[in-house]
Structure 1
């Protein structure tokens, strides 16, 4: 800052005012200071400024697993990228905390209560971080839920239409002529599992098919174990005397490993069995055959979550909608087709 002041021919305090509160410095001086700062490549020390103002620019993102590979596994990095970029453009930094142990939950609450963060974006999971008698909601911070609907608890939630998207995908399979299904389930108690399976059941009912048209497999493995879930479902499928003509997976990981497991056993995809995934993982386009899937709007999910957080920070009185639902879309690729004889 001293170098900028010398080059612009002003006092250091004038540089400080021009960069922090431009309206308090006349336009000619402000432009001279801005030109000097640009010439020298000067970047204000945000951390020091925030310490003086007693205001953090950190937004915490809490993750339910030991890494970003969780929940709707392969889409999370894309959601995070757009969330972080939008916050950064508005002067905020994104910090990550995992909440997979009591010590981690204590750390999260410590950050929330001591002023280290200005808001929290909660990814997935059934419960908010808590420790002892304290919960994240007691910290009086803006909270945004991403991917899980917590609107009933008064927390703004950014979600995708899991139920409606799955319904659309299964209705497409039914329109192709499929009448028997194997469903590869996600973990029990999962918000995504419940929404997606109910979408499948809804599609069957709409088409006049009974619940007996679908065999539900798995449901004991977490989303982190999606590849293993697909392998186990494929082994069950291969052992069946009467095999379903279509397999619907709660997540792309399971769909991808299912294809990789049955094809070496002479099962042709989609001639013998059609496969539908959910998430829109980029790797699905490179499967053999490419995976038909329900692609989540990762870019819009991240951007919208950031926008809601920024709105809460700037004007808590002007509350955003409690629930924002963004549509997933059906990506038709080579893993689905009409069943034999249809």
Structure 2
């Protein structure tokens, strides 16, 4: 309980005009980066590698603290920590630890690049990363993407996708979404709801451009009211309408957007649940969500997961993973519910 109350005590850390944060990984008190660096150096030099020590340290420090450890490690060992981790670890555990050495925006940028690299695009990852991130997150990702890869995210997305799917992703990456307002514009809510209906269910064929424009530019609180109002025009709700009107990656993208507008943490909980439905978890999805959300909203995702599945995220991860990878994920999860 002490651990949970310590987390909850720090949840108010990050309003700052952005979305509030509900992390499971927070800065540790009485932090000693030199001591942590020395412990990691001993762990990687141990015959057989002491993975447990590496997990204990890196999964229970904030990103800023991990950076300080890396700085101290380089002073101590005369080599960088990332190279040391690559040499000492392998498989999914290595993916988690290397992911934790990046900031949330760097990690997302890296994942986006990976989803568009080589032959064939990993559309599922691309959709999750672009459609679930807020405008603030996307602005950070774009900046970091340019720094890391010397290319614009927009150009890479345009070069790797096509048709209306490309148009929707590009509209989102351009981050033209309105800021939430304290004033509720009922007339605009009604206009948008009617426009969505008239561009889709009411006509033969779909005017996708109208859907893209409204869903990529309006604020999230406004869209939540639009979807509610939409039901007074259409016999189907917005998600049912999407399934009837469009197919393939475009359908998945619009559905992801609506799910995230309605309840982003429930969306991630569902993704985690699906990733652990089959025998042997989809490690890529599990790793990506836990690493990218542990300092953002994983505490809330945990709550939604328990509500949705009747079983905690912690217990489900324990059942579907094993070894050091399991230990790392359970530590990021931050406790049982």
Greater share of residues in strand:
1
Q: Which has the bigger relative contact order, CA under 8 A and spacing at least 6?
A: 2
* TM-score normalised to structure 1 length: 0.29
- Structure number with greater Rg is 1
* TM-score normalised to structure 2 length: 0.29
Greater share of residues in helix:
2
